Structure 1
């Protein structure tokens, strides 16, 4: 990354977090030059890029000022503090970059984007995906890659198609991804759950289920689990891959937050797959914007033909225009710069979130039995273990009156599965001041239960 890009990324993040408010003046070129330890021309290049993105404007002999936003989506909006929403912050959406890539894609691939494609995806994008996945230690051939309309489409196809192991039941972590749970229940897919907590899952129980139940695949989110925020250590991921091979069970690994991983040595389960049993799914919804609806599925050879058939029946192909734009976005280096920007922004929020939990935690008394450790905290979400006396429905109602939004965890469980009293908390769209105020209000409200 060039020096000016680092300055650009940092200033973008500070504007998005409203450290520089709309209409406020940025520090002078000289001050920025001294602050970042670069020459003035480097600062000027970063400021000019900000101006071209319509984030700042210049006034001769005065300086640079933050542009007045035309939307009300700023994360520090005083109206509502939303710890429930998990979608990425619109303040970080790469609007202008992606608009450029859309236009460029139409010029470059005009003969390919306005006709039906293939179930597998745009060939140029598949090649770029193969290179990108190698950065996550997912090594595969292009013939195993499928562009999907979000991870949710891949899950729907996998739940429907017959697997070579001849088994019929899906195993999912509890709590887990609520839309997949809803999908399985709605369509009557045989499903069972295995408890997941801050400590992970019981590997002996996992092995017992693999041995005694007709599990066709085990759906897992090893990295930054939704909604808990915790991750599996390497030895657990290796054990899951080994058990899958031993008992002829497939593993569907949802690595939707891979781009936010700070630990370069945290490899996915797929990296330890020696038996061709791991399906790897990667989404761009959380790192870019949900409306993109593009994900990638790495399908083992034993499933490629079936997956291709079911995918073609489902939608012929995923949006070709979006695929073309994403290919250019990846190839140009824009994605890499955007990833660094959003990682830095979420890391800052995560650190503040952690600090506020520690500072205001005593206000909750005995209502909070356990909070996730700092080493386990996802960049965007985590959970608290609440006392059994705390009603999340009542807590949500009380907090709503104070303009703080939380969401009970019920929908993340299968019907009838025993539920832990976890409170999920997301900071995807919560700015710094909202974090400070929201956590204080939350802990004060929980303190009412701690006094009972």
Structure 2
């Protein structure tokens, strides 16, 4: 493992090399030790990193020098355009939420929480224990580790009402992140060329998965309380769709949360049309008000296909999630998973199980939720103060984001570009709509790093927006 001081020295030298002329001599080891206040071993490690990257070369007895950069002829990949022909599907442009920001930028765009909100101590301990055990070094079954499957099933069973048969471990399929599970669901249960209903706006990753699976997306208007059951029933009837994708708990991007009554109404519509509800419970761990009760807990007839992610709440480095389905639907999805990835890393499954069953997991969740509430309230306050023309339809009771509507006529793409030029990265709302946007929106993430800079970032957003209005 490379220590932070080695990375710091290597990055500083890399920046210097980038502007130096080929053949320039680097400072000596002794000079660098004095400049950075590190050990000679650290300097040698930094040199090795740059040598491996082909940026410098050492001449014994003479010194270390910047390597000459050979002229490189640009590669011509034009032949591939003709060979591949036009793509069968054109996925929507969805790169903004996943884009890396400049280190000095105020990042309000990401869909992931900052590191200080993650259980890093639990995670390090879990990796250490798994490394010393045998559990992580054997091949897992296609459906996943039995103990982890039992944990996912037990979590859902704990909120299943009396009289409803709870899920069992055999109903669970462990996934390498729920994004891949979405692709399997669309392929196995919908099929290329067939329609799937989605709320509008909705999670951009679901739109991407549908496009890759060749599935036709049909938007259904969403709202602060979820979709109107009558609109949903009409869409099922008109399209003949057999699946509806939704995020009933803290929808991304709007933050909407279905009430128990709305969940029952939607489930009734799904049952009446012999259809599936694909419930994406991405924000299960990020509630800040109340408890989470998935729609899947109300269903024991196999109408709900339930996706539960741990990637955001445990660590982006541990891409583990689960899918709960019953009957032939589960078998079709499992067959698709076998073709897609065979099985999920046993190491990552074992680490995930260690974290969520550790005594400190519940304590961590309570602490994280308190911090999320404070960040959410701070961002709401700063948004209302710094961007008074932005409108929040609701303050979400969980999740990671605020969904703000901007004044009519706002050029959102231009706004995002100009904000980024001034050091603030926000996500244009266009990317969450399966068809034309219903208005100008931006999504801002209150779980990102440096909450003390929220005010500064939103002040820049307000200034840029005022220039457009003005």
Match of 2:238 in 1: 212
**Bigger mean CA deviation after superposition, 342-351 or 427-436:** 427-436
Match of 1:127 in 2: 150
Distance 1:408 1:299 in 2: 34
1:293 matches 2:319: yes
Tell me: CA distance 1:144–1:379, structure 2 relative to 1, closer, same or farther (3 Å).
closer
- Tell me the number of residue pairs that the alignment of Structure 1 and Structure 2 aligns: 365
Match among 142, 148, 152 for residue 179 of structure 2 = 152
Distance 1:336 1:153 in 2: 27
Match of 2:14 in 1: none
**Bigger mean CA deviation after superposition, 439-448 or 250-259:** 439-448
With normalisation by structure 2, the TM-score equals 0.72
1:438 matches 2:457: yes
Cα deviation 1:170-215 (Å, max 9, x = unaligned): 1112221212212222332222121224453232211101123221
For residue 82 of structure 1, report the CA deviation from its aligned partner. Answer: 1.2
1:397 matches 2:423: no
**Aligned with 2:311: secondary structure?**
coil
Distance 1:89 1:154 in 2: 25
Moved over 4 A (4+): 135-138
For residue 240 of structure 1, report the CA deviation from its aligned partner. Answer: 0.8
Match among 448, 459, 464 for residue 429 of structure 1 = 448
Where does structure 2 lack aligned partners over 5 or more consecutive residues?
Answer: 1-101
Distance 2:375 2:245 in 1: 29
For residue 285 of structure 1, report the CA deviation from its aligned partner. Answer: 1.5
RMSD: 2.5
Where does structure 1 lack aligned partners over 5 or more consecutive residues?
Answer: 1-76
Contact 2:197 2:220 in 1 (8 A): yes
Match of 2:308 in 1: 282
Which structure is larger by alpha-carbon Rg, 1 or 2? Answer: 2
Cα deviation 1:203-251 (Å, max 9, x = unaligned): 2211101123221211101111111122222221111111111111100
Cα deviation 1:304-337 (Å, max 9, x = unaligned): 2222222122212111011112222222223222
**Bigger mean CA deviation after superposition, 264-273 or 145-154:** 264-273
Match of 2:229 in 1: 203
1:371 matches 2:392: yes
For residue 149 of structure 1, report the CA deviation from its aligned partner. Answer: 0.8
Distance 1:95 1:271 in 2: 30
Match of 1:99 in 2: 124
Match of 1:5 in 2: none
**Aligned with 2:152: secondary structure?**
helix
Distance 2:114 2:436 in 1: 32
Could you say which structure has the greater relative contact order, defined with CA pairs below 8 angstroms and 6 or more residues apart? Answer: 1
Tell me: CA distance 1:184–1:379, structure 2 relative to 1, closer, same or farther (3 Å).
closer
1:30-179 equivalences under 5 Å are 79-108=104-133, 110=134, 112-135=135-158, 137=160, 139-162=166-189, 168-179=194-205
Cα deviation 1:118-142 (Å, max 9, x = unaligned): 1111112222222333455493111
Cα deviation 1:81-137 (Å, max 9, x = unaligned): 1111111212333333222212322433x1x53332211111122222223334554
Tell me: CA distance 1:340–1:265, structure 2 relative to 1, closer, same or farther (3 Å).
closer
With normalisation by structure 1, the TM-score equals 0.75
Contact 2:104 2:423 in 1 (8 A): yes
Match of 1:261 in 2: 287
Match of 1:304 in 2: 330
Distance 1:201 1:241 in 2: 12
Match of 2:17 in 1: none
**Aligned with 1:286: secondary structure?**
helix
Distance 1:219 1:107 in 2: 41
Tell me: CA distance 1:188–1:379, structure 2 relative to 1, closer, same or farther (3 Å).
closer
Contact 2:242 2:273 in 1 (8 A): no
Match of 1:11 in 2: none
Contact 1:245 1:275 in 2 (8 A): no
**Bigger mean CA deviation after superposition, 118-127 or 99-108:** 99-108
**Bigger mean CA deviation after superposition, 240-249 or 283-292:** 283-292
Distance 1:249 1:349 in 2: 39
Distance 2:189 2:293 in 1: 29
